[in-house]
Amino acid sequence: MAHEIRRLNFLVDALRQREHSARQDSRMLKEIVDHLPISLTVQDDNGRFILVNAVAAANLTMPMEALIGASPVDFLPEDEAADRRSWEMSLIQTGQSRTTEESVTGPTGQHTWLTSHKPVRIFDRTLLLTSSLDITERKQVENELSKRAHFDELTGLPNRVLIQRHVEEVLGRGDDNRRFALAFIDLDNFKHINDYYSHAVGDALLVKLAGRIASRLRDSDMLARISGDEFLLLLDPVESEVQIRTTIDGILEELKQPFHIEAFEVLTSASIGVSVYPEHGSSYEALRRNADSAMYRAKHGTKGDAIYFDVTVGRSITERMELEQRLRLAIRDRRLCCAFQPKVDIRTNEVVGFETLVRWRDDDGEIHPPSAFVGLAIELGLIDPITHFVLAEALKSVELLDEAFGSATTISVNVAAKQASDLKFMLSFAEVLKASKYAERIILELTEEAFVAKSQFQMQVLPMLREIGVCVSIDDFGTGYSSLSVLADITADEIKVDRSFVARIHERPRSQSVLRTIESLGHALGMTVVAEGVETFEELAYLQAATRIRCAQGYYFSRPFFIEDAADAKCINFDGRVIGPARGQLGRRGYQSSRTGAEARPRRG
């Protein structure tokens, strides 16, 4: 009997220890569940909570004890409660899971939760296990990355990716009656604004410009910034061409109004190209390309205007692509050549220098003037090898020119404004000159545009050129930016007055006044003044009689000649004109009429 009692007590103690251990395990499990960084609840098959951890209770803003036996539907409006109870019961009955993202506003603000509802079978009971993970920070990072991927950081506008996606979505709706327009907007002369004012002013201008355009749009339209100073505008929907033109014309006028930025009043304009769906393309890329092509036509016509795509614009695209390909091949195969145009002292009839002018000799032998391809070469980034070729040809031709005209002459080489501020290019250019023995006879011709970017060219490039003895000339003076102020800020050796001021100067009092002003400033600052584009005796006679200008250049004296013709061009006849090759030879070599002046020099800036 005593043995049985001891055995019974042993069993009771064991049960008590197990019960104590179970209670400890239960409390430990509850502590673990409460310390989980997720919200966790368990509901029975009636939807009542049988377990709620601390995070879940905090989200529901109620004590855990008060939640046991309650149901989520108790805290929802009637319609939402019925919907939740319906899908909860569906999950329990079908055994399917459900995962959703939920946005919840609580005491600490709005949070995003990734919530999983999963039915589980335990001890013949079907329970609904719900766990929620706070993914607020992850969503913020995702949203920021998405914003960076789809929106422009400076203006806050949609970027190229987002507007393309939006247009493709519109096209994907398959609405045959829908019409919309794409407008390609490019700010005119934005580089000059950056150079003259500052990049900070340029950025502020882009922001203000975007705001002005956006202010004229409907909610259904979209404006995107797709690159530096280029914007793409979707007008959707459009009912008629009149509606499109009214909107575009309004934008053009809006952008011509002054922009007040910091202490500056900035004046600018934009060129716009427009394509319309479905007339001008059935895909985003076709519509964008055609709008871009129309904008390019506007850019090279009357800036600050809009061009609407049509068949002629499409034809010009094909012609431009063909020209690009031919030019690339010409540069690769070195189908370039140089001609030389004399610069004459109009007081002594002596040749004092030459300007080196690049030509493109086509497959069929036709010679293209620089006006036909230099601008395109600059745009395509092909101008550097062309300029290096011109420099090499100029240096190679010095001895032959000296034989014909003497060794006191100078040789001018044109450099594009874009190249002048490219330190890497100018270093290589200077190295070639330094290695030659003719650096002090070289004049670098630059348009006024090159001197606008003062920090780069004037502070770094110009001293380097001065050190090796190279002279600097301001080409086409009077046609660029800040014409007279440029003279006060730079130390050039020569000013070449643009042909537009010289043409028929004996008949134009206004041009005479401008020329006198330029001449006086040039002499006061110690710069030689050269009159460009002299084509008639009357123009020469005026320069000789009414000005102190000593040097001139133009078809009146000589057309540009190739180096092999230098010996034939060395004599000066009685009226002061240089004798060039015969007219028949000039025509065969591809020169134009002396009255056009179109090929007189490469336009590189």
Of 264, 294, 309, which residue constitutes the final position of a domain?
A: 309
Same domain, 441 and 547: yes
Return the DSSP state at 154. Answer: T
pLDDT in tens, 106-128: 667 778 888 999 999 888 888 99
Burial bucket for residue 45 (CB in 10 Å: 0-12, 13-18, 19+) = middle
Do 295 and 356 have their domain in common?
Answer: no
Same domain for 261 and 380, yes or no, is no
User: Phi/psi of residue 557, each to 5°?
Assistant: -85, -50
Mean pLDDT of the chain: 84
Q: Is residue 145 part of a domain?
A: no
Helix axes 423-435, 383-405, angle to 10 degrees: 30
Same domain, 305 and 162: yes
Residue 225 has pLDDT above 70, yes or no: yes
In a domain, 41, yes or no: yes
Residue with tokens 């002018």: 357
Same domain, 279 and 171: yes
Q: For residue 2, give every residue at least 6 positions away whose Cβ sits within 8 Å of its Cβ, in sequence order, or none.
A: none
- Residue finishing a domain among 290, 309, 328: 309
Residues 205 and 292 in one domain: yes
Same domain, 349 and 475: yes
Q: Are residues 108 and 161 in the same domain?
A: no
Total domain count, the chain = 3
Condensed to tens digits (0 to 9), the pLDDT of residues 190-219 reads 988 888 888 999 999 999 999 999 999 999
63 and 125 in a single domain? The answer is yes
Helix axes 284-299, 160-172, angle to 10 degrees: 130
Place of tokens 């030689």: 528
Domain containing 275 — which CATH number? 3.30.70.270
The residue that leads in pLDDT, 319 or 106, is: 319
Both 437 and 305 in a single domain? no
The CATH number of residue 419's host domain is 3.20.20.450
Query: CA 16 → CA 9, 20, 195, 231, distances in Å?
Result: 10, 6, 88, 80
385: nearest Cα among 316, 326, 334, 323: 334
Expressed as residue numbers, the domain containing 251 is 151-309
pLDDT of residue 452: 65
Asked if 187 and 290 sit in the same domain, the reply is: yes
Please say if the pLDDT value at position 583 is more than 60.
Answer: no
What's the DSSP call for residue 151?
A: B
Same domain membership, residue 51 and residue 90: yes
Final residue of a structural domain among 136, 165, 198 = 136
Give pLDDT tens digits for 538-549.
Answer: 999 999 999 999
Position 514 in a domain: no
